């Protein structure tokens, strides 16, 4: 994991509350780079919301297109699955 993955980002929700997010991974797709974020403090009794941001000129821009966000989420989950549950080298 790179040093930048140890950073936290503070975002303000629609009610004005500050929420810290931790980057989980970055994803490349169709010439753009994205970062997948999760809340820094997860409440195990609540569903954690994943936030996907596009990186444009070192600025995080919210992905507002549901299809684009879903595509990036699926890519990130496939990469995580491959990383953690990939093919066994013993085969």
**In this predicted model, what pLDDT tens digit does every residue of 5-61 receive, in sequence order?**
568 899 888 899 998 999 989 999 999 999 999 888 876 666 667 899 999 998 999
Neighbouring-strand partners of residue 52: 36
Q: What is the pLDDT of residue 47?
A: 64
pLDDT digits (tens, 9 = 90+) for 15-27: 999 989 999 899 9
Distance CA 65, CA 52 (A): 11
Question: What global pTM score does this model have?
Answer: 0.75
Mean pLDDT of 76-83: 86
3-state secondary structure the chain: CCHHHHCCEEEECCCCCEEEEEEEEEEEECCEEEEEEEECCCCCCCCCCCEEEEEECCEEEECCCHHHHHHHHHHHHHHHHHHHHCCCCCC
Note whether 10 and 19 are within 8 A (CB): yes
Q: What is the pLDDT of residue 44?
A: 62
Q: What is the pLDDT of residue 48?
A: 64
């Amino acid at each position: 994991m790179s040093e930048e993955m140890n950073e936290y980002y503070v975002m303000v929700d629609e009610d004005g509350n500050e929420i810290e997010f931790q980057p989980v991974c970055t994803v490349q797709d169709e010439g753009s780079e994205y970062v997948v974020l999760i809340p820094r403090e997860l409440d195990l009794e609540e569903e954690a919301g994943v936030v996907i941001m596009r990186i444009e000129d070192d600025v995080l821009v919210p992905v507002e297109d549901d299809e684009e966000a879903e595509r990036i989420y699926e890519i990130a989950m496939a990469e995580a699955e491959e990383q953690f549950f990939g093919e066994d080298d013993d085969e």
